[in-house]
Amino acid sequence: MLAFRLARGTHPLVLLRRLMVAAASAGVGFLLLCTLSYALAHPTDSGSGLRLLWCLIPLAATVHFAVAVARTDPSTRPRGGLSAVGLGPARLGVLAAVSTAVAGTLGSAVALLLFLHLRGDLTGLPFDGAGAEVLAAGRPLPLAAALTLLALVPLASTAAAAVALRPRRVKPGAEPEAPDAPAPAPTGLPWGVALIAAGLAVETYASRGTPRSPLPLPGQFDGSSSGVLVGWALTALGLALAGPGITRFCGRVLQSVRPGATRLLAGRVLMEESGRIGRPLGVVCAVASAAIAASTLQDTGPHPFGPLTGLGAVLVMTCTTATLITAALEAKQARADTTKSLRRLGTPTATLRNATAIRAATLLTVFAPLTWGVAALATLPFSA
């Protein structure tokens, strides 16, 4: 009940982010139900389980976005008045997890209603039974299986948000860390580079396999082997691990060669925020490179991507981009006190804006060629 009362007084932008989580949950739930309907319509097809695996990609993107939204929820910030009534960091984290569960459950309910409506089980609205043939309307829907699939997003999002927002415990006798200690340097760059190389190698090896080993997409794409999916997953994980290190390197480069005040401020902020925005940047880079590679392969061959594949791609790109924007907002909130101190010291507003523009331009200059290079290397074996 307290979570609902806090939601009533929440800023509209915060409510918009929660609605976006619900919309993403609805999209993933609809994909899962469509996969279930395909299994009902093709009971002897062994590719139904493989189609379900493809749904894990938008599901993971949705969970990642839900965690980012929970981290930036204003209700998770400790306040003296709430602590006095027993709402410390642990209880606030529980409230954020409850809000995430409500948004995910709402989205799953919408997905179920839309699925039943397009199937023709619910009548009285436009487009009744518009997808009856595709959604196996002639076969009874197993309710237990449908509810199990729909519960995946709310449960995974809630568990991930609870883990991400759990309070850090200080060991007995240890001194708490000072809020202005420099951020530690990321250590995942070597592992990230190794995983990127391994992923590209696996994709190259899988592209030489026989077309008899397909891993179908939720739509109509039947020409991708399981090795290609594993290779892309390794590449995406490598880019996510390497993102913070690359972002910190960009900040260090900005501070080199006799920097001015604006460049020095931009580089220092990048180094401090590399842990927050580096990983979402790497994920966006991986998704963008996959989109470029898919469009390149589609232009050079047949068009095997179905509408559900397009829905999954839109979900992944939207969630990863929204996660990056949310992470940038979280970083801005974290340095709000520093920005206020700089303004009190007389720092011009133009200097702060120029530093922000320099940071964005530097990241674009570094990550755009990296994205194109990974996409080019991924498509090279298929075009050879």
Q: What pLDDT, in 10s, does the model give residues 16-39?
A: 888 999 999 999 999 998 888 888
Cα 184 to Cα 68, 151, 187, 336, distances in angstroms: 21, 37, 9, 20
pLDDT of residue 220: 42
pLDDT of residue 152: 93
Taking residues 288-304, what's their average pLDDT?
Answer: 71
How many helices (H) and strands (E) the chain has is answered by: 14, 0
Cβ pair 361, 275 in contact under 8 A:
no
pLDDT of residue 36: 86
Q: What DSSP designation does 257 have?
A: S
Q: Which of 115-129, 178-192, 331-345 has the highest mean pLDDT?
A: 331-345
Q: What pLDDT digit, counting tens, does each position of 210-235 carry?
A: 444 444 455 443 445 567 778 888 88
Q: What DSSP designation does 347 have?
A: -
pLDDT of residue 324: 92
Choice among 132-141, 269-278, 334-343 with the minimum mean pLDDT: 132-141
Query: How many CA atoms within 13 Å lie on the side-chain side of 284?
Result: 22
Give yes or no for residue 9 having a pLDDT over 60.
Answer: no
DSSP E strands in 112-248: the ranges are none
Between 109 and 216, whose confidence is greater? 109
Give yes or no for residue 285 having a pLDDT over 60.
Answer: yes
Choice among 67-76, 194-203, 268-277 with the minimum mean pLDDT: 67-76
Distance between CA atoms of residues 249 and 100, nearest Å: 34
Taking residues 356-374, what's their average pLDDT?
Answer: 92
Cβ pair 271, 251 in contact under 8 A:
yes
- In this structure, the dihedral spanned by the alpha carbons of residues 63, 68, 74 and 77, taken in order and rounded to 10 degrees, is 100
Q: What pLDDT digit, counting tens, does each position of 153-211 carry?
A: 999 999 998 888 876 664 555 544 444 576 677 788 899 999 999 988 887 777 665 44
pLDDT of residue 15: 83
